[in-house]
Amino acid sequence: MILLKLFLSFFKIGTFTFGGGYAMIAMIQAEAERQGWLTKEELVDFVAMSESTPGPLAVNMATFVGSRTGGVLGGICATLGVVLPSFIIILIVAKCYEKFKSSKAVNGAMSGLKPAVIGMIATAFLSVTRTVFFPNGLQTAAFSSVSFWLFLGIFALSTVLVFKKVHPIKLILLAAAIGIGAGYGLGL
């Protein structure tokens, strides 16, 4: 049953993902929360590992969530689910390519979907912000914790580096090192 649920959820996510893996984060989060598959922290960790391993972000995320929830078979079902919609749609498009290219409906739909994807990434940003900075919900107490300021520091540094086009893997390794150093150093 869990396998079928994984397949269907990721089929849905694959069907409605436009413009790369980041737009998926909000959807995976909503789905994982609804089904109780993983914690918010785990999801963010998966994003990090999907970025630092080769392959498409969306496939990596699907395999991660699937294998965490349903073992190897779960991984296969989730991955198959996220890939299948693309595969079917592209086969159809490849067959009637000229029609697709000049279709007014397709172009119109795309003009609405492209900005929507940006809105969805903003949602992902907001929810990951909550997970990182306010793990216990929005409380003013969060501001007085050491870890809040530590995270803010790492986030600020990472933002500068990522806009300077430092490779995500290097960034993630650096952040991990700071996390370990600060964790032991400050005794968090």
Partner 1 sequence: MIYLISGDSILNKKLDLFLTFMKIGAFTFGGGYAMIPLIQREVCTNKNWIEEKDILEIVAIAESTPGPIAINAATFVGYRTAGFIGACLATLGVVLPSFLIISLISLVLHYFQELRAVKYAFMGIRAAVLALILKALWSMFKAAKKGAFAYFIMGTTFLLTAFAKIDAVFVLVGCAVFGIIWSAIRRKEQTHDTP
Interacting residues with partner 1 between 117 and 156 (CB under 8 A): 117-129, 131-132, 147, 150-152, 154-155
Applying CB under 8 A, among 2, 3, 19, 35 the residue interacting with partner 1 is 19
DSSP three-state, residue 36: coil
Of 3 and 161, CB closest to partner 1: 161
CB-based burial label for 126 (10 Å; 0-12, 13-18, 19+):
exposed
Question: In the window 57-96, what residues touch partner 1 (CB under 8 A)?
Answer: 57-60, 63-64, 67-68, 72, 75-76, 79, 82-83, 85-87, 89-91, 93-94
Are the C-beta atoms of residues 117 and 58 closer than 8 Å to each other?
Answer: no
Report if residue 9 touches partner 1, rule: CB under 8 A: no
Residue 130: CB minimum distance to partner 1, A: 10
Q: Which amino acid is at 76?
A: I
Are the C-beta atoms of residues 26 and 97 closer than 8 Å to each other?
Answer: no
